[in-house]
């Protein structure tokens, strides 16, 4: 039997549930409007290559998607992934740390300029037969590059490293073991990863290693940047990259050109992986296309010196 008290209680429950559903629906709608998903495909989202409105970090296990409006430098001691948001074709991306913020730690991700200059960099975790063709293409175009190596590469491919040096390229430090450096909080452990590779490099090629450092997977913290600086290192992130590291799922030529031609911009620091079959096959044509667009290629040394002299400050109109 439904007494008046039961009817009142039931009515109150219905009103409460209706209000709850309304609030949840309104909140969901506002979230969807504020943070729309614009992935090229579900596979792109899973790979961390969501375009235009999200950040993505182009290395395995280094994905970082955040809403584009949340662009703030990382606070002291915070962990984070390097990330970029491409807003307009042919224009520099918005990074999750500004050039001025990074400069205080001798760190870079691009040159703030209107000049059509490209800084080519390659991350090399191991040798799988593609670096020779990459070096051939660079030599053909007179294009200097920087190769960021790990310990395994130096141990297994010393002749290829010597060729990089002989042909005028920079060999930089990508750490000995390729760990998540943002999880390393002690100076001793951080130093071991960098100096261990330095020692092996000097033993292998007979000369000191350039103190240029790239954090594995783009993972870093402010304390990491300070530690690298204290060791005399300059840290290099990037302003253009694409998903090229999956050995058994390589991008097609058209997919690579869509990203690398559409997103190139003045002052770009381009990150490619030397383990990519696609990169080895398209690099000659890619460099030609960039040259036809009016770009020239320069060494990271030029980026550093232009910034030190003040000519690397923002010259865009």
The catalytic site residues sit at 123, 273
Q: Which of 267, 273, 233, 219 is nearest to 61 (CA)?
A: 219
DSSP codes, 149-175: E-HHHHHH-HHHHHHHHHTT-EEEE--
Q: What is the CA radius of gyration of the chain?
A: 24
Query: Are residues 30 and 64 in contact, defined by beta-carbon separation less than 8 angstroms?
Result: no
Which residue(s) pair with 296 in the sheet?
Answer: 117
Rounded Cα gap, residues 185 and 123, in angstroms? 24
What do you get for the CA distance between the two ends of the chain, in Å?
79
Which of helix, strand or coil describes residue 191? helix
190-226 burial, b if ≥16 CB within 10 A, otherwise e?
bbebbeebbebbeebbeeebbebbbbbbbbbbbbbbb
**Which letter does DSSP use for residue 250 in this model?**
P
Give dist(CA 97, CA 74) in Å, integer: 7
Going from the C-alpha of 209 to that of each of 45, 198, 202, the distances in angstroms are 37, 6, 7
For residue 117, the cross-strand partners are 296
User: What CA–CA distance (Å, rounded) separates 168 from 142?
Assistant: 10
CA distances from 177 to 61, 89, 181 (A): 15, 36, 10
Give me 96's structure tokens.
Answer: 């999750």
């Amino acid at each position: 039997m439904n007494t008046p008290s039961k009817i009142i209680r039931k009515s109150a429950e219905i009103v409460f549930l209706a209000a709850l559903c309304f609030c949840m629906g309104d909140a969901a709608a506002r979230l969807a409007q504020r943070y729309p998903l614009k992935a090229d495909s579900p596979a792109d989202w899973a790979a961390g290559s969501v375009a235009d409105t999200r950040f993505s970090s182009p290395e395995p296990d280094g994905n970082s998607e955040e809403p584009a409006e949340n662009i703030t430098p990382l606070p002291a001691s915070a962990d984070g992934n390097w990330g970029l948001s491409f807003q307009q074709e042919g224009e520099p991306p918005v990074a999750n740390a500004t050039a001025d913020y990074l400069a205080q730690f001798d760190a870079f991700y691009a040159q703030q300029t209107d000049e059509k200059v490209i800084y080519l960099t390659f991350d090399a975790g191991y040798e799988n037969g593609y670096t020779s063709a990459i070096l051939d293409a660079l030599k053909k175009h007179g294009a200097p590059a920087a190769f960021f190596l790990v310990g395994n590469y130096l141990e297994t491919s010393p002749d290829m490293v010597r060729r990089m040096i002989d042909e005028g390229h920079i060999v930089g430090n990508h750490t000995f073991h390729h760990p998540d450096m943002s999880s390393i909080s002690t100076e001793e452990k951080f130093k071991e990863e960098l100096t261990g590779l330095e020692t092996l490099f000097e033993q292998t090629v007979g000369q000191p290693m350039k103190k240029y450092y790239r954090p594995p997977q783009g993972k870093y913290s402010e304390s990491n940047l300070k530690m690298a600086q204290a060791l005399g290192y300059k840290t290099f992130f990037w302003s253009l990259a694409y998903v090229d590291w999956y050995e058994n799922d390589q991008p097609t030529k058209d997919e690579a050109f869509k990203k690398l031609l559409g997103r190139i911009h003045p002052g770009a620091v381009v990150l490619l992986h030397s383990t990519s079959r696609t990169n080895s096959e398209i690099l000659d044509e890619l460099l030609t296309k960039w040259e036809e667009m009016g770009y020239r290629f320069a060494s990271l040394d030029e980026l550093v010196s232009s910034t030190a002299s003040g000519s690397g400050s923002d010259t865009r109109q």
